[in-house]
Structure 1
Amino acid sequence: MGKAVGGPRILAITSEKGGVGKSTLAVHLAGALTERGLKVVLVDEDGRVGSSIRWAERGAKHGGLGFPVLDPDGAKPKVLAASDVIVIDTEGRPKRKELRALAERADLLLVPSGVSALEGEATRELVDYLDGQGPAAQNLRVVLCRVPPVGNAAEEVREELRDAGMRVCNTVIRQYAAYTKAAELGLLARDVRDPRAQSAWADVVTLAQELI
């Protein structure tokens, strides 16, 4: 994802189906990019659920995440303009009109998907819609999330999606309990006590390197 001309890069994360780890991915990508020295702002646009906002609130007593998490009202132009990357955690199942507008303003639109048949079908429907919108879909990428750490399910699904013409990230985000612990404590996976915490964090760091 290249630097947007005259302003910060916008990385938006959206999904057609709930439970695919959208907010977990948003929080951790923001953390991985911050770790690389970039000035990152995470904007939680899901006013109904507010998963990223609540994540940050839980972590405040532990010292915070290391980057601001704002709702749309708090995302003032001056704050956004001073950042290198704006990560947007969209509302779940956004309306088609809003989705198209999001794709047009984002430098990269990331669609997390699980590896089950139902999740793959929902992802294909979303990508097919955006592909029909012309240039709006050029910066869309699918990333496989909540992938079983053992087995080759990710490789099979990734090739199926690519055969269908979709742009799928090489990196997958495997399913580890460290992410659940991180959400409960308001931390990043790297900061929780779990035997697989560093493996979970490594997946996100690798994805961040692939994307930006």
Structure 2
Amino acid sequence: MKTLAIISQKGGCGKSTLAIHLAVCAVKDGLTVALFDIDHKQESSYEWFLTRGKSNELIVLQALANQLPELLKQGKNGGIDLCIIDTAPHTDEPMTAAAAVADFVLVPTKPYTLELRAIPKTLEALRLVKTPHSIVINEAPLGHQADRARAVLEEQGYPVLNTVIGDRVAFKHAIADGLAVHEYEPEGKAVEELTELFEEIKQEMRFYGNTANHKTIDRRKRA
């Protein structure tokens, strides 16, 4: 079992949208997935799951950061292949706790000045726990804004994944209906980009196989 945390000090950078869609990518890849939503102010991932309905391959739970070690233990014993942690936009104790139990941390950022200025604080917190991490440029508009953001980040020596996720209205429509873009617009560019991103993340985590036996963790472990 592998664990992916999605973390950023800046709010509104698309953490929950990525958490949801990477979970669906993993399910499409034949994996059994648990998504833990520890953002108690927004609960975007959990609200999406309530709209979507139950699934044998995807579990979404509300959780407290201090519950994560026990939930991950249950997941490993219960045959979960991939756990994804959707965090709140702060560099505080819950974020550090999520990073500490993860195999890899994904740091999403929009390609604009205010969002890029928040990156150093996020990465400084991650260095304290020494978890491998990379930035993904998210919600990028058409044009060269993503290229300019990448140049700024790489000039500072920050790790940036190759895949860029575009700013696409399909994400908003799909999530509103409890869907992923895989179902809303299966032949769209968003699915192509997400698939590329998921493959990059699997390489970063050295995660190559499907060990799913389709058991589940205790659904009563909720905040």
Any conservation in 1 of the 2:87–2:95 contact (CA below 8 Å)?
no
Residue 184 of structure 1 aligns with which residue? 176
Counterpart in the other structure of 1:26: 19
Paired residue secondary structure (1:170): strand
Cα 1:55–1:80 shift into 2, 3 Å: farther
- Distance in 1, matches of 2:131 and 2:39, equals 24
Structure 2 residue aligned with 1:70: 61
Cα pair 1:59 1:65 within 8 Å, conserved: no
Would you say the 8 A contact 2:91–2:122 is kept in 1?
no
Q: Provide the residue aligned with 1:200 in structure 2.
A: 190
For 1:9, the aligned partner's letter is: K
Q: Taking structure 2 as the reference length, what is the TM-score of the superposition?
A: 0.80
Shift of 1:66: 4.9
* Root-mean-square deviation over aligned CA pairs: 2.2
Please say if residues 9 and 118 of structure 2, whose CA atoms lie closer than 8 Å, have aligned partners that are also in contact. yes
Q: Give the 3 Å change call, closer, same or farther, for CA 79–126 of structure 1 in structure 2.
A: closer
| Aligned match of 2:160 | 168
Are 2:36 and 2:60, in contact at CA under 8 Å, matched by a contact in 1? yes
1:40 Cα offset (Å): 1.1
Counterparts of 1:59-98 in structure 2, within 5 Å, are: 59-60=52-53, 66-72=57-63, 75=71, 77-81=73-77, 82-95=79-92, 97-98=93-94
> Per the alignment, in what secondary structure is the counterpart of residue 145 of structure 1?
strand
For this pair of structures, how many residues does the alignment match? 196
CA distance in 1, matches of 2:4, 2:160: 16
SS in 1 for 2:140: coil
For residues 105 and 125 of structure 1, the distance between their equivalents in structure 2, rounded to whole angstroms, comes to 20
Q: Which is strand-richer, 1 or 2? A: 2
Aligned residue type for 1:86: C
Q: CA deviation at 1:138?
A: 4.5
Taking every aligned residue pair, what percent have the same amino acid on both sides? 31
- Please state whether the residue corresponding to 1:68 is helix, strand or coil: strand
For 2:49, the aligned partner's letter is A
CA distance 1:99–1:76, change in 2 (3 Å):
closer
Deviation at 1:200, TM superposition (A): 0.9
- Counterpart residue number, 1:210: 200
Unaligned runs of 5+ in 2: 203-223
- Between 1:39-48 and 1:65-74, the stretch displaced more is 65-74
In the alignment, is the contact (CA less than 8 A) between 1:42 and 1:67 conserved in 2? yes
| Equivalent position SS for 1:48 | coil
What's the TM-score, normalizing by structure 1? 0.84
Which residue among 97, 104, 107 is the counterpart of 2:103?
107
Alignment of 1:4-153 (within 5 A): 8-60=1-53, 66-72=57-63, 75=71, 77-81=73-77, 82-95=79-92, 97-131=93-127, 133=128, 136-148=129-141, 150-153=142-145
1:170 and 1:163 map into 2 onto residues whose CA distance is: 15
